[in-house]
Structure 1
Amino acid sequence: MKRRGNPDYLEILKMAGPTVSVIIAAYNAMPYVTRSVTSVAEQTIGRDALEIIAVNDGSTDGTAKELERLADEFPGLLQVVHQENSGGPSAPRNAGLDLARGKFVFFLDADDHLGPEALERMVTMAEENGTDIVLGKMVGVGGRGLPMSMFRSNQPKTDVFSSRVYWALNPLKLFRRELLERHALRFPTGMPVGEDQPFTALAYLHASGISVIADYDCLFCTLRDDGGNITVRTKGSEPRLRFLAAMVDLILENVPPGPGRDHLAHRHLTVDVPHVLDSHLVHEPRPQQLKSLAEIAEIIAPLWHEGMNDRLSAMARVRLHLVRHGMLDEVLELVRFEKGLADSKAATPVLLDGGRAYARYPFLRDPARAVPDACYDVTGQLGIRHHVSRAELRGTALHLAGHAYLHRVETRDVTTGLVLRERDSGTEFRLPVTHTAAPGLGADADEGAYAYDLAGFEAVVDITTAADGKPLDDGLWDISLAVGAQGVSREVRIGSRRADDVSGKASTRVVDTGAGLRAVTLYTTNPHGNFTLDLGEKKHGVRSHLRFDGIRWATGAPTELEIAGRCTLAEYPESALAVVLDDGHGGSASFAAVRGDGTFVVRLNVTELTAGEWTGELRLGEWALPLPVLPKKLAPAKWRRRGLPWYAKPVPGAGNRFALQVARTNLIKAVTGKLKA
């Protein structure tokens, strides 16, 4: 791996001791532990930057013997500790942490293994960004399910409240050891599952910064063939409710009420609660089910409040309502419904009423259950499916076409319209679209349950009239669709989904509006790829599209000064590009450019110029570009006017500006010069 940043800092760290202590808690980990240890020993960071501490937690399957063999294979690198079985990974991890000497600590399960560059990349990320924790991208092996929402992109420095890192509460990460020691962080013992959550959560909350590596597979997590992963071995609601209660207390004690607390609560309410219900509570005898359900309701009561509902899915709202009210039979029916929904290829239908959409989940408007409609409201979560098949600027008009519809809302009583919104001022204008047929749209999804035959649209945005009949002001005008049908409407930016032949590359034009020339650029935003109109060169300048290639006397026309260049504008008015010369005394001359394919040539017939010192520029309406400096060695042009000799040549000492001297030859000086020669 090529090191980023200062290549010497790892060498400095090595001199002070190991850079990383890798702690492996091992219990009956054969045959996985061999690969686990080997993957650490083969890290590109180098063995002199590493120490491996493997703690055998009373294994009975040959793990102890294999660890001793590996210690002989990697002398001075692998330290093996044997202890009686503790019943979970907390005690062996703590034992390893007590022995660790590295600047950083990485906890690796004996079932898992590292990508070759993982530790070097993570240490580099931590040091370059001054962060205390680094999450490396995880990959599931053998069907192992893993949290992935935090690995959508690299995050050099973030925190627990403005990212999705809290959705990964396992400790399989790089920690700065000073952080752990300063806050005396250790894994709680006596918890058969979930012991890693309090440890990792507190580390997140105390960290000065957190990094995420998403562009390299750092950690490979294995689902064991024998079902030996501890989370798989441990059954029942009770152990999970213990750590859920501990996590709720942790949040209440360390995070004040507000958006930050709600962000962390969201993870437990939507991950841990449904997991307890659908994987454990459903398998318990009814008395235990009633007891567990009451405990869940009591545990989550401090976290769930009505103000959180907008960030929760409708399914989560319904589930939490049933839990809060102790509705066991309804909870069990909802779990069965969810399992069937996961196996279905069709999304749940919606009820449309009063401009709102409600998911037809169990007990919707069932008077015997009285679950509030608000629990089922999915208006804000309705998917918007859209596609642009045409986006083309012609003159002053942008022509758009494509289709757009609300998922699960058939295209009856369509109200879709176009929205232009200026990014800084918020000024917006709504324009009508022509609704067009889209036969068969939707037939390949949801088992053909929904039809969107009138989802097509065509629209024309003329910048001279789009502002309620007036020209649009200069600005960045973001383009959206207000997609509506059957009384429900949602807005979406368009462009991210478009046909292959619809370019997202910026296209700058100079167009004649009838009231003058105007710059307009159609481009797509980065990184989302949505269309925006740039009026008035807010981001895309016209001058950057003009450049000169050279200046010389034209071949075969020794009195014509030829200026060649390139113009990469997608469009500009015919004959609008010209060279304009000025003699400094009120005299001027204009020479139109001859256009080519992305090129232009301007020929200045110097015989048309009066005597004087001429300067000039290339003009395109209000835009001007100084002409290139005349080459010093450019030979004079000579001609006769009314029988007298004239010449044109670069002005001596003109410096870095175009300056052409046109004058009649002084015959006396010319003769005298020849005689002296």
Structure 2
Amino acid sequence: MIIAAYNAMPYLTRCVTSAAEQTIGRDVLEVIVVDDGSTDGTAAELERLNALYPDLLRIFRQENSGGPSAPRNLGLDHARGRFVFFLDADDHLGAEALERMVATAERHATDVVLGRTVGVGGRGAPASMFDRNQPRTDVFSSRVWWTLNPMKLFRRALLERHALRFPTDLPIGEDQVFTGAAYLHADGISVVADYDCLYWVQREDGGNITRRLRGSEPRVRFLPRVVRLLLDHVPAGPGRDHLAHRHLTVDVRNIVAGHLVHEPRATQRAMLARLADAVEPLLHEGMRERLSAMARLRLHLVSHRMLDELIALVAFERDLERGGAATPLLVENGRAYARYPFLRDPGRAVPDHCYDVTDRLGVRHHLTRAELDGATLHLAGHAYLHRVPTLDVGTELVLRERESGVEHRLPVTPAATPGLGADEDGGRFAYDLAGFTARVDVTTAAGGAPLTDGLWDVSLAVGAQGLSRETRIGRTRAGDVSGATRTHVVPDGNTLRAVTLYTTRPHGNLTLDLGERKHAVLSHLTVDGVRWAGGAPAAELEINGLCTLAGYPEGALRVVLDDGTGTAASFTARRDGDVGFVARIPVTRLTSGDWGGELRLGPWASPLPPLPAALPPAKWRRNGLPRYAKPAPGGAARGRFALRVARTALLRALLRRCALPRSG
């Protein structure tokens, strides 16, 4: 571990202590601390800590270098471990951080490991890359490029193989150049997101280096270096654009809004020209399509060196943030344009594409009903395009089969929603006609024909004023709208068909499962027991069970017996309570033979469980002759229902009786 320390008190104590208390163990850890010419109590505290951890700490001292690069490089020159972790003296580690990150690197053979970062004292921390653990990824298929600070675990062989060191001529942004190069050369990157590894501390004295170094010049100085890194190591195309997005949005906005607008006029003009030159190699038509309208507008003003307009845009953004209300739109010819500054201003001639938000319009919806009644899905709620008043509404319901992409669009019935929108954006936008109801019959939804088997995702194409945006529905719904899975068995010609309405995980959107793609009918059928009606040998065998289907046709659930010779007998299972059923078999109506059995619901069949071996025989007379029914031999051993129905052999019974020993 390498710690660059400059006037780091009192934060240094916790920083070093957190390193010493790592669960990975001191026997595999060295902590190199470089005092970069501190003038506070840092040197004395390092002596005290060295006495506490003499076998752990290695302390180096040098004249102040003006930044963290030189002390980090010195530490790296003296490092001996397989891995290196750079830790700022202001910050500290979670106890298991190094153990978890090293284990991840070893398990997945990756060269760089990011551990989840937590802000302390009001300091913001990167978050988008820590939504889940990522055992092995890269900069192109993840968000890791959005955190370019060096507080990460690096395989030291990677750094030495490519002679990676922090540039000493940059007072700020040196970490982006170093970490960016390490990312691009790395054989795999891991993300540990399920543990708080690094605590990023906001110093009370404002001593964090990014806060000490004000002004746009240091930032405009490092940005071309990062751009050159991308141009040299990443071919033009989607991969480079993915990485460039960070710098064209985060860095440009930070330089302009955080620094440039506060500087003297001459400095502003000079820095704006340098900034425009820096970003120019990354800008092209395809790149602009990836950016938000605000970012496109900002970059247009930067590229054309429109200083006054850029300053006005910064003020406009600040007012937006303070006010919290979204910007109104100009809707025209099926496109939506944000009314940002200078829209259609003939004196500025900013192109419309800098304002076009059509493809980024937010869709908001809320369901008040989502219910499957047999083969019919009933929906109700509201949906609207954010910032687009509900005029000329043209909303449709969209059913799309997930695998094939086949879709069917169905009309919805509009409904009034007076007052909707009054509690957001200061009531600036009205959505009084955003309501809808819909009725979908799966037997006719495909243009009058049944929907085919498959997973049919349910969406709304929400339209107004010639605009339309599609969204999955279900994730926002009223509290009384259940998201529970409900399976119905419904008539389909001469047979039955399974229809299930369920919500996806984790997003909670509605999907219709037709034909048991994910939800099996038989999983809802259970036989609890088989016994004689009334509990004693009788003329009826009683079969009890559960059917947890949301619905099925009356009389469709049956117990069917077969004697193996082609003779079958069918008995209706009647409902018993909410989910129970019971079927009674009058054994006196069965012909002689060994009967097997199963529970049937249309095309679905499930074998009946074996009869209890101790089930006593039932006896009766037919035409004066004695008969019986009892478990057939071997049925229980085979795990199958087996009932023997036969006539009592009188001679054999008489002989058995005569052979019985006499008492007394």
Give the TM-score taking structure 2 as reference length. Answer: 0.96
Contact 1:111-1:221 within 8 A present in 2 as well: yes
Amino acid at match of 1:189: T
Residue 559 (structure 1) aligned with residue 539 (structure 2): yes
State the Cα distance separating 1:665 from its structure 2 match: 1.2
Contact 1:137-1:218 within 8 A present in 2 as well: yes
Residue 605 (structure 1) aligned with residue 586 (structure 2): yes
Matches within 5 A, 1:217-232: 217-232=196-211
User: How far apart, in 1, do the equivalents of 2:181 and 2:655 lie?
Assistant: 96
2:658 is aligned to: 675
Out of 535, 539, 560, the residue aligned to residue 580 of structure 1 is 560
- For each residue in 1:148-170, what CA deviation from the matched residue of structure 2 results, as whole angstroms up to 9, or x when unmatched? 21122222222110111100000
State the Cα distance separating 1:557 from its structure 2 match: 5.3
Amino acid at match of 2:266: P
User: How far apart, in 2, do the equivalents of 1:605 and 1:651 lie?
Assistant: 17
Residue 359 (structure 1) aligned with residue 338 (structure 2): yes
Moved more, 508-517 or 156-165: 508-517
The structure-2 alpha-carbon separation of the partners of 1:129 and 1:387, relative to structure 1 and needing over 3 Å to count, comes to: farther
User: How far apart, in 2, do the equivalents of 1:152 and 1:541 lie?
Assistant: 33
2:623 is aligned to: 642
Residue 614 (structure 1) aligned with residue 595 (structure 2): yes
The structure-2 alpha-carbon separation of the partners of 1:118 and 1:501, relative to structure 1 and needing over 3 Å to count, comes to: farther
Contact 2:537-2:616 within 8 A present in 1 as well: no
State the Cα distance separating 1:463 from its structure 2 match: 0.7
User: How far apart, in 2, do the equivalents of 1:121 and 1:389 lie?
Assistant: 45
Out of 134, 141, 158, the residue aligned to residue 113 of structure 2 is 134
Residue 628 (structure 1) aligned with residue 609 (structure 2): yes
Moved more, 476-485 or 329-338: 329-338
Q: Secondary structure at the match of 2:645?
A: strand
The structure-2 alpha-carbon separation of the partners of 1:574 and 1:128, relative to structure 1 and needing over 3 Å to count, comes to: farther
Q: Secondary structure at the match of 1:302?
A: helix
Matches within 5 A, 1:337-416: 337-416=316-395
User: How far apart, in 2, do the equivalents of 1:76 and 1:140 lie?
Assistant: 31
Amino acid at match of 2:369: R
User: How far apart, in 2, do the equivalents of 1:214 and 1:237 lie?
Assistant: 33
User: How far apart, in 1, do the equivalents of 2:479 and 2:96 lie?
Assistant: 36
Amino acid at match of 2:109: G
- For each residue in 1:463-506, what CA deviation from the matched residue of structure 2 results, as whole angstroms up to 9, or x when unmatched? 11111122111111100001111111100000111122222222
1:323 is aligned to: 302
Give the TM-score taking structure 1 as reference length. Answer: 0.94
Amino acid at match of 2:554: E
Amino acid at match of 2:115: G
Out of 197, 202, 209, the residue aligned to residue 181 of structure 2 is 202
User: How far apart, in 2, do the equivalents of 1:479 and 1:259 lie?
Assistant: 31
1:60 is aligned to: 39
The alignment covers a number of residue pairs equal to 656
Moved more, 114-123 or 640-649: 114-123
Contact 1:438-1:455 within 8 A present in 2 as well: yes
User: How far apart, in 1, do the equivalents of 2:483 and 2:102 lie?
Assistant: 38
2:53 is aligned to: 74
Amino acid at match of 1:300: V
Out of 458, 461, 469, the residue aligned to residue 437 of structure 2 is 458
Residue 590 (structure 1) aligned with residue 570 (structure 2): yes
State the Cα distance separating 1:366 from its structure 2 match: 1.0
Out of 181, 187, 195, the residue aligned to residue 166 of structure 2 is 187
- For each residue in 1:34-59, what CA deviation from the matched residue of structure 2 results, as whole angstroms up to 9, or x when unmatched? 11111222223333342221111110
1:292 is aligned to: 271
Amino acid at match of 1:92: P
- For each residue in 1:560-594, what CA deviation from the matched residue of structure 2 results, as whole angstroms up to 9, or x when unmatched? 22222222211112221111111122211011112
Contact 1:547-1:565 within 8 A present in 2 as well: yes
State the Cα distance separating 1:229 from its structure 2 match: 1.1
Moved more, 39-48 or 497-506: 39-48
State the Cα distance separating 1:673 from its structure 2 match: 2.7
Moved more, 416-425 or 274-283: 274-283
User: How far apart, in 2, do the equivalents of 1:30 and 1:564 lie?
Assistant: 75
User: How far apart, in 2, do the equivalents of 1:515 and 1:128 lie?
Assistant: 57
Q: Which runs of 5+ in 2 are unaligned?
A: none
Moved more, 350-359 or 35-44: 35-44
**Sequence identity, in percent?**
69
1:665 is aligned to: 648
Amino acid at match of 1:504: G
2:254 is aligned to: 275
1:312 is aligned to: 291
User: How far apart, in 2, do the equivalents of 1:432 and 1:161 lie?
Assistant: 41
- For each residue in 1:399-425, what CA deviation from the matched residue of structure 2 results, as whole angstroms up to 9, or x when unmatched? 111111111111121111111111111
User: How far apart, in 1, do the equivalents of 2:658 and 2:106 lie?
Assistant: 79
Out of 121, 143, 146, the residue aligned to residue 167 of structure 1 is 146
Contact 1:522-1:532 within 8 A present in 2 as well: yes
Q: Secondary structure at the match of 1:335?
A: helix
State the Cα distance separating 1:360 from its structure 2 match: 0.5
Out of 216, 224, 227, the residue aligned to residue 237 of structure 1 is 216
2:419 is aligned to: 440
Contact 2:593-2:645 within 8 A present in 1 as well: yes
Amino acid at match of 1:199: F
User: How far apart, in 2, do the equivalents of 1:559 and 1:187 lie?
Assistant: 91
1:29 is aligned to: 8
Contact 1:580-1:591 within 8 A present in 2 as well: yes
Out of 94, 97, 105, the residue aligned to residue 73 of structure 2 is 94
State the Cα distance separating 1:133 from its structure 2 match: 1.9
The structure-2 alpha-carbon separation of the partners of 1:309 and 1:512, relative to structure 1 and needing over 3 Å to count, comes to: same
- For each residue in 1:279-322, what CA deviation from the matched residue of structure 2 results, as whole angstroms up to 9, or x when unmatched? 22212222322222222222112111101222100011111111
Matches within 5 A, 1:260-271: 260-271=239-250
Q: Secondary structure at the match of 1:443?
A: coil
User: How far apart, in 2, do the equivalents of 1:409 and 1:473 lie?
Assistant: 36
User: How far apart, in 2, do the equivalents of 1:44 and 1:558 lie?
Assistant: 71
Contact 2:111-2:154 within 8 A present in 1 as well: yes
Contact 2:526-2:547 within 8 A present in 1 as well: yes
State the Cα distance separating 1:241 from its structure 2 match: 1.7
Amino acid at match of 1:393: L
Question: Superposition RMSD on alpha carbons, in Å?
Answer: 1.6
Contact 1:396-1:513 within 8 A present in 2 as well: no
Moved more, 146-155 or 449-458: 146-155
User: How far apart, in 2, do the equivalents of 1:267 and 1:85 lie?
Assistant: 32
Amino acid at match of 1:327: M
Amino acid at match of 1:646: R
